[in-house]
Amino acid sequence: VQADLPVLREIYRSAVHSAGPAAYTPAQVRAWSGFARDAAFAGFVLDVQTYVAERSGSVVGFCGIAEDGHIAALYVDGGRIGQGIGSALLRHALAAHPRPATGRYYAEASRLSLPLFERCGFRRVGSELVERDGETFERLLVEMPAGQ
Ligand SMILES: CC(C)(COP(=O)(O)OP(=O)(O)OC[C@H]1O[C@@H](n2cnc3c(N)ncnc32)[C@H](O)[C@@H]1OP(=O)(O)O)[C@@H](O)C(=O)NCCC(=O)NCCS
């Protein structure tokens, strides 16, 4: 995945720019997508197990999952949103990690990904506020016991 880093940065940026405006302000979209250029983006992808989806030989999405069951990332190229790729990626990552160390899966969903997580069996357990580049974001905490 190391070699795919530039591609994954572009997918992240494109995903946020395409899907973001439906639920976030222009300033929030800029702050969120700016993380694609951040030095910490490499760790965001490489510190967990990251799976990529390919269509016709090109990477079009990625999902990161940690050993403890944390879904660290779920991003689909802007031009490919709404084609079932995000759901397929999440299901693949869950199936590849049948026994997370904490006995559950959990994620900080966006307003955009909440329906997808719920369709995959996650339920909402709370929310939190995070700040990025002066913009505040509400993240929706979701979880699901493993072995469902
Ligand atoms: C959230 C995200 C990853 C979803 O990826 P996706 O590939 O669009 O997800 P899916 O296509 O599987 O599902 C999205 C919608 O498409 C619909 N869909 C699924 N398969 C479909 C298909 N074959 N044909 C048409 N529509 C389909 C689903 O019903 C779903 O609708 P809903 O969520 O409004 O109910 C993507 O929108 C994204 O990258 N968003 C920006 C980043 C983000 O919010 N990431 C989450 C951070 S945790």
- Cα of 123 to ligand 1 centre, how many Å? 17
Place of tokens 């405006």: 21
What pTM does this model have?
0.94
- Cα of 81 to ligand 1 centre, how many Å? 6
- Cα of 3 to ligand 1 centre, how many Å? 26
Ligand 1 pocket residues where CB is under 6 Å? 15-16, 19, 74-76, 81-87, 107, 109-110, 112-113, 115-116
Most ligand 1 atoms within 8 A of CB, residue of 24, 50, 87 to mutate = 87
pLDDT per position as a tens digit, 17-73:
999 999 999 999 999 999 999 999 999 999 999 999 999 999 999 999 999 999 999
The mean of the pLDDT values for the chain is: 96
Q: State the closest ligand 1 atom to the C-alpha of 87, by its place in the atom list counted from 1.
A: 12
124: left (phi over 0), alpha (psi -120 to 50) or beta: beta
Give the pLDDT score at 75: 98
